[in-house]
Amino acid sequence: MDITFVKIGGSVITDIEKPNSARIDVIDRILSEIARSRSSSRLLIGHGSGSFAHVPAHKYKVNQGLIDGNSMKGAAITQNVAARLHRIILDRCNENGIEALSFAPSSSAVSNKGRIETWNIAPIIEAMNRGFLPVTYGDVVMDSKQGVAIASTEEVFRYLAMHLMPKRIIIGTDVDGVYTSDPKKDPDAKLIEAINESNIAHIIKESARGSTKIDVTGGMKGKVSNLYSIAMETGAECFIVNANVTGNLYKAISGKECKGTKISK
């Protein structure tokens, strides 16, 4: 059976305005969509950190590594806070009767300047083969060059995709996909339904220039670039969909028609 990776964005499952607040009702609704679609493919779930780890990660500049006397403390705190949201997800899986197992990148992976280099993924493969739902997340990992680094869920998916060759990668965010400009500011903003070799260069170029024409800002810009790399390297079809819209994740995982942006090679 095909493998599908599903990311649940941190901005979906936490209240971004309020540190350390998980949206339990949203998590439960998303888990029920995931449970419903498990028969269509073998799933691996990853989730972001939202208002949990992003706060200390930013404060202690964890992505830069061990740079000063507070860096070790910052790494320890950030790893712990990321794990706290992760445990909430696992708690909800158990409460909802989903046989999920946790796989923390920090326990098994080592990166090189934030790019994962070694990771024993044998337990994840064994878990998938036995029918468990593996759940991983963006995490603070040990780094051979800078001491510690942040491995985002996208980076975690990149490494896992190279080894597990998923057919589809679904990225559940709080927007409908990639737009030609910021839909919150520009009434003429249009959803880009497909990104592939025919338009990726244009999109990256426009956003690199800071053009308002194609507003692939911040997180979304990095996502598009990362997902296109994964698509190129593994052949996976990647979909950015709005996980705040009930049913979207179910449809996307099941291969049904769903509003969003498809990124493929």
Q: Which residues bind a copy of itself (CB under 8 A)?
A: 66, 72-73, 75-77, 79-80, 83-84, 87, 90-91, 93-94, 97-110, 118-120, 122-123, 126-127, 130-132, 141-144, 147-148
Comparing CB distances to a copy of itself, the nearer of 122 and 201 is 122
For the sheet with 147-151, list strands across it. 115-119, 109-112, 139-143, 147-151
Q: Considering the complex, what minimum distance in angstroms separates the CB of residue 3 from a copy of itself?
A: 17
Q: Considering the complex, what minimum distance in angstroms separates the CB of residue 142 from a copy of itself?
A: 4
Q: Considering the complex, what minimum distance in angstroms separates the CB of residue 119 from a copy of itself?
A: 7
Residue with token string 């739902």: 133
Comparing CB distances to a copy of itself, the nearer of 132 and 189 is 132
Q: What angle do CA 236, 221, 23 make, to 5 degrees?
A: 85
What letter would DSSP give residue 31?
H
Comparing CB distances to a copy of itself, the nearer of 118 and 246 is 118
Q: What angle do CA 147, 66, 150 make, to 5 degrees?
A: 65
As a whole number of angstroms, the longest Cα–Cα distance in the chain is 51
Measured in whole angstroms, the distance separating CA 163 from the mean position of its chain's CA atoms is: 17
Contact 244, 211 (CB under 8 A): no
Pairing of strands 133-137, 42-47: parallel
Q: Considering the complex, what minimum distance in angstroms separates the CB of residue 191 from a copy of itself?
A: 37
Comparing CB distances to a copy of itself, the nearer of 59 and 209 is 59
Q: Considering the complex, what minimum distance in angstroms separates the CB of residue 32 from a copy of itself?
A: 17
Comparing CB distances to a copy of itself, the nearer of 117 and 174 is 117
Comparing CB distances to a copy of itself, the nearer of 79 and 153 is 79
Total Cβ atoms within 10 A of residue 255: 16
Q: Considering the complex, what minimum distance in angstroms separates the CB of residue 115 from a copy of itself?
A: 15
What letter would DSSP give residue 53?
T
